[in-house]
Structure 1
Amino acid sequence: MDWQKIALFLSFIFVQSLFAGEKSPKEVSVASLLRVGFSPKLVAIWQQKVKAPRAEFFAWKRSLKDKEAALVSKLWKVENLSYPPPTRETKPNVHQSQNNRGNDVLNENKPKTESPAKDPFLEDHLFLGLGYQNLDVQYLPREEKNHSSFAFGGFQKGQRFSFEKRDENFLYGIHFKYNSFHITSGNRYKPIPHFYFAKDPEFYSQMDRPNSPLPQPIQSSHFFGTQNSIFGKLTDYGIYYAPGFSSYPGIYVSSPNKSYSGVWSPGENKSSFFINDTLQLQQFGKHRIQSESILNHKESVGFYYSKSEFVDSNFLVDVTFYRDSPLLYGNVSSGDFRPEIPQTLGYMRGSYRNILGGEVLSSQEGHRYESGGSGFLPIIVSQYGNVLCRYRQYNEVGNYQYQETGRAIFYEWRKDRTVFSIGWERRELGSQWEGKIAIPIQTGHLLELSAIFREGNLKTRSWFENWTYASDFNINLTDREEIIKIKYINQFLSLNVSYSEKKTSPAPILFINFQFLHLIDL
C-alpha cells in the first residue's frame, strides 16, 4: 500500500468521524418528517429524492421555495442532518498508462456539480456589528441626537451570544439550546419574530432577517421554551418575562417557520400577534400578508399590510392599515416626530396591471380627520413604462376645513418590488413634484429613493409613499416642504438618510443611520 492509498484511507476515516454524531437524510423517519410539519406529499417526494444521487438531491433542495424550503431547513437543524462529501479518487501515479491519464484529463474538463448554497448565518462564526445614528434637529438635546452601538458575538453549534454597547449601556444577549429546550435572555435575541415586542425605542436593526446575529434590539427580556409537536406540527412555545412589554410574565407560541406568533401577559391582559405569510387560494388569488398588533384593555396599535394578485397577476390590490401610538411602544419611525396622539391611517390601491385603477385614503389624528380618493388612467402604455394621468381629491375636517383637487401626470414602471415613478401634480394654490425608485439590485440588495417637493400654498397634506417594507409604513401624510429619503440595504451593510424641510421652520431636519456587520468564520 503506497502513501497515496494510506492518505486516502486516513482521510476517509477522518471524514466519517466528523459525521459520526449526525444523521444523513436517508436516516430520517416518516414520523420525524411529519413532526416537523411535512405534508404527506412532501414526505413522499423527500423519500424519493434521498434515494437519488447526491447532486440530484441537492439540486432539488435548492429549488424549494417558501414554506417547503423553510420546512426542509427546519428539519436539517432539528435532526442535525449532514450529507458527507463524496470520497475522491486518487490521481494516477507516474506508472499508470497514458490512456488512464487521458481519461483523467477528460474528467477534469467535465462541469463540476455546484455545492449547495449555504446560509452564512448558520455557519459557525464570530461577528462584529457597528451602528451610528444622527438626528440633526434644532433644539434637540445632544444625547437624543446621536446614538451609537458596537456588538461582538458568535454562533457555534446552534448557540448564540452577543455583548454590546449601546450609547453608555453595556448589554448582553444569549440564545442557548439543549435538545428540544432553549433559553433566551438579554437585550438582543428572542424566539419570536415580532418587531415591536419590547423594542428598544432608541435603536433598530436593518439586519433583521432569518438567522441574523443582529435582529431587532430589545429591552431586557427573558424566555424559556421548548419545541414539541402540536396537532402534528412542531411548535415553539414557552414563558417569558419582558418588563419593556409588560410588568407581568406571560406565555408565547410560534409556528414552525415563524409565520405566525403570539404572546399574552394575563396579569395585564396585554397581547401581541404577528403574521408573515403567503396564501395561495387558487381562483381567489395570491396574497402576501404582514401584520403585527399590540393590544391591551385601553387600546390597540400596530399595522396590517397585504399585497394581492388576481387573474394571472393582472389585477393588483395593496392594502395598508396602521395605528401608531407612542403610548405602548414609543416612536415607530426613527427621525420622524409624532405627536402624543394616536394616528389611525388606512390606504388601499387597486389597479389593472398598474396602469388603470384608483386609491383611497383615510386618516384620523385626534380631531384632525383627512380623507381622499384618486383615479388614474394611461395616456401611453409601453414595455418601457407608462405615462399616466391622475386625478386626486384631498379633504380635511376638524380644527380646519379644507378641500383641494390635484391633477397630475406621471411616468411609472412597476414590477414586483421594482418601482420607477416620477410625476408633477397641480392644485389650486400650488403644486408638487414627487418620485419613488426601488431597485432590488440582486438577491438581498435593495436601493430605494423617495422624494417630494411642495410649492406654493398647499392647504392639505400630501400622500407620501415611503418604503416597500410594511413595517416602515409604505404610505403616510406629510406637510413638509421638501423630503428626500435614501436607503440601501444588504445582508451586511445598510445606509438610511432622510432630509426634510418645513416651511414654518428655517432649520432642516437631517437623519442618518449607518449599520455594518462582519462575520469571522471559525
Structure 2
Amino acid sequence: MVRFYAIPGNSRVRLIDLLFYGVLVRVNLFCWMIFMIPIAPLQSAPTPKSQSNKQKDYKYATQYKKTEQKRKEPTIVSAHSFKPKDKEDEVQFSVGGSVQQFQSRYADAKESSKVTNFGEMRWKRLSVLGESRGDRSLGSISYKNDYIDLGLGHRYKSIPGFFFAKDPEFYNTLGENQPIRESAFLNFLPGYFSPGIFFSQDITGDKPGFSLVFPEKTLAVTYSPETEKRSLYANFYRTPMKFYPGKTKVLFTLNGEAIGTKTDYFGIFHTKIEHPESKLYLEGLTYKDDNGFLLQSSDSFQSSQENAINSWIAIGIGPYHRIEAFDSVEIGQRERYQSIRWGIWETVLGSPVYRYRDYSYWSEMDGKRFEDFTRADAILWMYHGKSIDWLIGREIRYNGDRTTEAGLNFRGNGWKLETSVLFQAETNRFRSPVERFSGYDTVQIALSDRAKILRFRFRTEFIEWNITSSERINREGSFLFMNLQYNWIF
C-alpha cells in the first residue's frame, strides 16, 4: 500500500510522473552508454523557439486544420462517378514460343528442328494456356487462391524448379512456366508451409507423390513412394547476413535443384558468399548431368555425354584476382585443374593478368592405371566495367598444348549481349575449361576437347537469341545450335 503525505490536489500525479521520468532517464542513459540505442525519446524542457521554428509550427497547424475540415465535409457522389478497376479484375493476355534448330551430321534431320507457340489468358486467380509443341496441341489450366494452388496440363506446376517434370525437348528462360510433361499439382495454403500432392508419370509412376513447399518458395521437397524418386529445390538469392550489429552485410546465395533416387540422380547447386564493400567472394558449384538434360543447348561441347560429378570452387577479390579449382569424376577416370590469376596493375582500359594453371588426369582400365600432368602459363587482358567487359589471352602449356580465348559482353537497361570464343590446337592432350548455360541463367564450368567453340547470346525482357557453334578435333564434325524465344504480355 502506497501512502502520500502533504501533497495537495493533483500533485500525486505529478510525483508519479516525476518518478517515472527519472527512471526513464536512467534507463535511456544506460542503454545509450552500453548499446548506443535509446529506448524511447525523452521530452526536453521547453526552450525559446526561433522565428523559423514558429513559422514551421504555424504551417503545420494550418495544414492540420485544412485536413480536419476536409474530413468533416460530406463526400458527394455523382451519378457519373465510378470505382476504378482492380488489377486483378483486368484480363491479361500473353503470347510466346520458341524456334530451335540443331545442325550436325550426327543428328536426325526430322528431330533437329523444334517449334512451340503458346497463348495465355489470366483473369483474377485463373490462368488458361493453349500451345502447339511440335506436332502436338496441348492445354493447361491453373487456379490459385489463399487455400489451394491447382495446376493441370503441360505448363503450370505449384512446385518450383526449372527441371522438375520438364519436357526434355524444350525449355523456357523468359517466363516462370516451363514446358513440362503431362502433370497434375495440388498444394494447400500457398505462401505458407504448403503441403501437396502431385502426379507426373516420369517421376511418380502410377501413384501420386507428395510435396512440401516452404514460404516464398525458398525450399521445396518431394517424394514419390512408387519410384522412390526425391527432389530438393533451394532458392536464396543474395540474402543479407549480419554477424555483428552495425557491421557491413555479407550476402549469401544458394540456388539449385536435384532429382532422382539415391543411386541415380542429376542436379545442380550453386552457392556464393560475398562482401560487397571489399569485393571479396567465395563461390562454389556442383552438378551431375543426365545426358545433357541440364543444358540450354543441344551441344554439350564434349565428345560424349558423360554424366560425371563436377565440382568447382573459387575465392577472389574483384574481377581480376581469383584462385579456383575444378574436379570431374566419373567411372574409371578423373580430371582436374587448379588455377590462380592476378591482375598486374589496373588501368582505365582494364588490367593485364597473369594466370597459372596445372592440369592432371587419371584413368584406370583392365587393372592398368594411367596418369598425366602438365603446367600452363597465360597472359590475359581483362576489363570489367558497368556496361561492358572483355577478355582476350593465350595459354601455353609445358607439354606443348596451346589455347586462345576471348570474350566481349555488353549490358544495358533491360538487355544483355554475351559473346565468347575458344580455340584449341588439335594436338592438345588436355581438355580446356569452358562455360555452358544451365537452367535460367546458371553457368556451368565444363571441360571440352573441341577445337573451336563460339557462343553468342542476346537477351531482353521479351526476346532471347542463343547461338553456339563448335567443331571437333581433326575436323571430325561441326555442330550448330540456335534457339530464339519470345514472350509478349499485353
What is the letter of the counterpart of residue 260 of structure 1? Answer: L
What is the letter of the counterpart of residue 15 of structure 1? Answer: K
> Which residue among 303, 317, 325 is the counterpart of 2:282?
317
Tell whether 2:217 aligns with 1:258.
yes
User: Which stretch shifts more, 189-198 or 244-253?
Assistant: 244-253
Tell whether 2:167 aligns with 1:167.
no
Matches within 5 A, 1:147-158: 147-158=114-125
Q: How far apart are the structure 2 equivalents of 1:417 and 1:174?
A: 40
Matches within 5 A, 1:51-90: none
Q: Which has the higher helix share?
A: 1
Q: How far apart are the structure 2 equivalents of 1:195 and 1:488?
A: 21
Tell whether 2:146 aligns with 1:188.
no
- Structure 1 pair 324/418, CA: closer, same or farther in 2 (3 Å)? farther
- Shift of residue 267, structure 1, vs aligned partner: 2.6
- Structure 1 pair 437/317, CA: closer, same or farther in 2 (3 Å)? farther
- Structure 1 pair 139/369, CA: closer, same or farther in 2 (3 Å)? same
> Which residue among 420, 439, 444 is the counterpart of 2:410?
439
Q: Structure 2: any 5+ residue segments left out of the alignment?
A: 1-75, 244-248, 365-369
Identity %: 23
Q: Secondary structure at the match of 2:111?
A: helix
Q: Secondary structure at the match of 2:227?
A: coil
What is the letter of the counterpart of residue 218 of structure 2? Answer: S
Deviation digits for residues 112-168 of structure 1 (CA, Å, limit 9, x no counterpart): xxxxxxxxxx96322222311110010311222111111122111121111111111
Tell whether 2:360 aligns with 1:391.
no
Aligned to 2:458: 488
Contact 1:404 1:459 in 2 (8 A): no
- Structure 1 pair 414/319, CA: closer, same or farther in 2 (3 Å)? farther
Aligned to 2:477: 507
Aligned to 1:269: 228
Matches within 5 A, 1:69-468: 124-209=91-176, 215-227=177-189, 234-247=192-205, 248-277=207-236, 278-283=238-243, 285-310=250-275, 312-326=277-291, 330=293, 332-337=295-300, 339=304, 341-398=306-363, 401-414=371-384, 419-427=389-397, 428-443=399-414, 445-455=415-425, 457-467=427-437
How many pairs are equivalent?
400
Contact 1:183 1:224 in 2 (8 A): yes
Deviation digits for residues 282-307 of structure 1 (CA, Å, limit 9, x no counterpart): 24832111121113132332111112
What is the letter of the counterpart of residue 394 of structure 1? Answer: Y
- Structure 1 pair 483/287, CA: closer, same or farther in 2 (3 Å)? same
- Structure 1 pair 332/123, CA: closer, same or farther in 2 (3 Å)? farther
Contact 2:97 2:116 in 1 (8 A): yes
Q: Secondary structure at the match of 2:473?
A: coil
Q: Secondary structure at the match of 2:110?
A: helix
- Structure 1 pair 469/334, CA: closer, same or farther in 2 (3 Å)? closer
Deviation digits for residues 30-49 of structure 1 (CA, Å, limit 9, x no counterpart): xxxxxxxxxxxxxxxxxxxx
Q: Structure 1: any 5+ residue segments left out of the alignment?
A: 1-6, 20-76, 81-121, 210-214
Q: Secondary structure at the match of 1:432?
A: strand
Contact 2:416 2:458 in 1 (8 A): yes
- Shift of residue 397, structure 1, vs aligned partner: 1.2
What is the letter of the counterpart of residue 297 of structure 2? Answer: S
Q: How far apart are the structure 1 equivalents of 2:352 and 2:438?
A: 22
Q: How far apart are the structure 2 equivalents of 1:472 and 1:178?
A: 31
Contact 2:99 2:115 in 1 (8 A): yes
- Shift of residue 450, structure 1, vs aligned partner: 2.3
**Superposition TM-score, scaled by structure 1 size:** 0.71
- Shift of residue 515, structure 1, vs aligned partner: 1.0
